[in-house]
A and B are shown apart, each in its own frame.
Chain A
Amino acid sequence: MSRATERRRNAAEWLQFGTAGVIVLVMFYPAIWMVYSSFKSNREIFRAPFALPSQWRWENLVEAWNVGGLGTLYFNSVFVTLVAVSMCVLFATAAAFAFTRLEFPGRKLMYRILLIGLLLPPPSVAIALFTQLRDMHLLNTPWALILPGAAWQLAFTVFLMRAYFISIRPDMEEAARLDGANTWEIFWHVSVPMVWPAMLTMVVLNTISVWNELLFALLFITDDAQRTLPVGLVRFSGYHSTDYSLVFAALTITTVPILILYFILQRHVIAGLTATAMD
């Protein structure tokens, strides 16, 4: 889309810009407030909630990092998210490939079964899953979050990947097959490069979900050393609940990196969602 930047805006466009701008700013303000409040002292937060900090106290962030053990929490969250998302997107793409490009008995049935995942509320199996993970000796390990995390994202991911596959004609793959390539080669060398944008989008969406997952992380992990960010944050804010500056600092540290990452990858998300067309 070329930028229509040369033409001057008319009144309607200014109205659009203005209205949108006001709404967006109001919505975004709490996030901004959280960030600059984390540099204030508690007293300042109470006395002058709106003002910018008189002194930018970076030591708040350092304290929050240490007291909250944010380093460990970050590491655990990164590890769990990285592995779970990779597994999920890979498996889902393969499955979507199978459901749309390959013929085999039970294809439709399998897909329908997978769709059940879209309807299930995760809390509904939390208890049974707890017992199951215990019997599998996976409790308190990162795998307790990685494997169910990936599994529960599968339905949504397959759903979207399949839609994307359908929107692309199978011409390239058929040509490759005529050239004598086997299924594996077709998948890796033809299909994957084609659906790559959608895969990227799913990576972003899945990362948001897995990174922020709370319920399973709360129930399946009890060791401090294995804990992930969302749970750590809740516990931290419970104990230090009147130490506003500390909690805001912790919140800032845990959310700003994700926000920055998101802003950088923004284009891909929108491009990917456009492509998958949500049909």
Chain B
Amino acid sequence: MLFAAPAMLLFATFVLLPLGASVYYAFTFWDGFSAPRWAGFANFARALTDPTFLMSFVHVVFYIAATLIFEVTFGLVMAVLLNSDRRGFSLMRGMFFAPVVLSMSAAGVLWKFVLDYRTGLLNSTLRSVGLGDWAQPWLAQPETALLFICIVSGWKYAGFYMVIFFAALRRIPRNLYEAARLDGANGVQQFTAITLPMLKQNVIVCILLAVTGGFAGFDLFFTMTNGQPFGATEVPATWIIKQAFDQNQIGYGVALTVVLTVVVSLISIAYLKISERGNVTRY
């Protein structure tokens, strides 16, 4: 029992305790300075009718969908593509994973420069090949801002999922493929009949990571646009921080986080239940 104690203690103090405090603060009006005043459910009522907050969920769902495509699926495809013992592949795997190692803020800063309207790499490239008309203020337009943040996130994290799937691919016994080939199955058939089912467990976990990670998304959004333009890239986390710190409405900010946490928990639990149905997962 003692062995679990340090971890549990640390966890309880710095994760559970603030969580509990959050739930309490959510029921107050508090600006962080003066004494909190009881608010009952007022904050929650406001949260559920706050148009920016609701919109932020739409944005984050879009982001998660993009993550599933640009990161999980792309990572899986690259894992298959990079699955070879030939020379050069190890280096390529390393290069593909490298952006994961960067901090989100470094990636955000770098891409902010790449996407800058006047002097960024992307627009400069377009102008130099005569496609100057296509140059846009990518991060200043509501239509493209969110999309580009998703692309940057994909650039950064596809490598993470690639490595996970690659590790799993390595564990599939070779003889399965041999047997299938002898039976006349081609590459695609081998993929669908052998690879995918063996990877199923990994895919499930990766989707869960993508979903929970997506809802928590803050760093990249904060660094690149902080909700601009006009809230087109506002996600729950950035809005929460704005309310709590910029607007000094702690009670309300915390109520927002409670709503966010409940939503994420419900989705995750539902997802796990559904995926558990076909598996024996020991919890």
Chains A and B touch each other in the complex, with CB atoms below 8 Å apart: yes
Indicate whether B111 reaches chain A with its CB closer than 8 angstroms: yes
Q: Does B7 contact A (CB under 8 A)?
A: yes
In the complex, the answer to whether B240 meets A13 with C-beta atoms within 8 Å is no
Which residues does chain B contribute within 8 Å of A158, judged by CB atoms?
7
In the complex, residue of chain B having the shortest beta-carbon distance to the beta carbon of A5: B87
Task: Select the stretch in B42-50, B78-86, B189-197 that faces chain A.
Answer: B78-86
Cβ-based interface call for B141 (8 A): no
Binds A, one of B92-100, B131-139, B177-185: B92-100
A residues less than 8 Å from B281 (CB atoms): 279
**Contacting chain A: which of B15-23, B61-69, B142-150?**
B15-23
B interface residues, tally (CB under 8 Å):
96
Is A214 a contact partner of B104 (Cβ separation < 8 A)? yes
The B-contacting residues of A in range 190-243, CB under 8 angstroms, are 208, 211-212, 214-215, 219, 229-231, 233-234, 237
Flag if B14 contacts A166 (CB, 8 Å): no
Q: With a CB–CB cut-off of 8 A, which chain B residues contact A23? A: 78, 81
Chain A residues with a Cβ closer than 8 Å to the other chain, count:
100
A52 within 8 A of B: no
Q: Mark B1-12, 1 if CB is under 8 A from A, else 0.
A: 111101110110
Within 8 A of A (CB), among B167-211: 167-168, 170-171, 201-202, 205, 208
Q: Is the CB of B21 within 8 A of A262?
A: no
List B contacts of A231 (CB < 8 A): 105
Across the interface, name the chain A residue whose C-beta is closest to B254. A127
A27-B158, A123-B237 in contact; A129/B14 too (CB < 8 A)?
yes
Specify which chain B residues have a CB less than 8 angstroms from the CB of A111 in the assembled complex: 283
Q: Is A251 a contact partner of B10 (Cβ separation < 8 A)?
A: no
Name the distance in Å between A119's Cβ and chain B's nearest Cβ. Answer: 5
User: Which residue of the partner chain, among B4, B124, B166, contacts A94 with CB atoms under 8 Å?
Assistant: B4
Choose one: A230, A251, A254, A273; the contact of B167 (CB below 8 Å): A273
Q: Is B39's CB within 8 Å of the partner chain A?
A: no
- Main secondary structure on B side of the interface with A: helix
Q: Given the complex of chains A and B, what is the CA–CA distance between A4 and B87 in angstroms? A: 9
B230 within 8 A of A: no
Find out whether the CB atom of B103 lies under 8 angstroms from the CB atom of A20.
no
Residues in chain B near residue A117, CB distance under 8 A: 11, 15
A24-B96, A150-B10 are contacts. A212–B268 as well, Cβ < 8 Å? no
For A14-39 the 0/1 string (1 means CB < 8 A from B) is: 00110111011101101101100000
Q: Are B19 and A234 in contact (CB under 8 A)?
A: no
Distance between A111 CB and nearest chain B CB, rounded to angstroms = 8
Interface residue? B244 (CB, 8 A)? yes
- CA distance in complex: A115, B97 (Å): 27
Residue B54 at the A interface, CB < 8 A?
Answer: no
Q: Which of A107, A154, A211 contacts B7 (CB 8 A)?
A: A154
Distance between B152 CB and nearest chain A CB, rounded to angstroms: 9
Chain A residues whose CB sits within 8 angstroms of the CB of B205 once the complex forms? 278
Does B15 lie within 8 Å of A152, measured CB to CB?
yes
A131 touches B21 (CB 8 A): yes
Give the residue name and chain of the B residue nearest to A121 (CB): B216
Does A112 belong to the interface (CB within 8 Å)? yes
Contact B110 A34 (CB under 8 A): yes
How many angstroms between the C-alpha atoms of A248 and B7 in the bound complex? 39
Please state if B84 and A13 are interface contacts (CB–CB under 8 Å). Answer: yes
**Contact B21 A128, beta carbon cutoff 8 Å:** yes
Say yes or no: A266 contacts B94, CB within 8 Å.
Answer: yes
- Which residues of B lie under 8 Å from residue A129 when comparing CB positions? 14, 18
- Checking B108, B163, B201, B215 against A273 with a beta-carbon cut-off of 8 angstroms, the contacting residue is B163
Is B102 part of the binding interface, using a Cβ–Cβ cutoff of 8 Å? yes
- 7 closest A-B pairs by CB: A121-B216, A212-B103, A124-B257, A151-B14, A95-B7, A98-B3, A125-B18
Footprint of B on A, CB under 8 Å? 1-5, 9, 13, 16-17, 19-21, 23-25, 27-28, 30-31, 33-34, 45-46, 49-50, 87, 90-92, 94-95, 97-99, 102, 104, 107, 110-129, 131-132, 147-148, 150-152, 154-155, 158, 166, 183, 187, 208, 211-212, 214-215, 219, 229-231, 233-234, 237, 244, 247-248, 251, 254-255, 258-259, 262-263, 266, 269-270, 273-274, 277-279
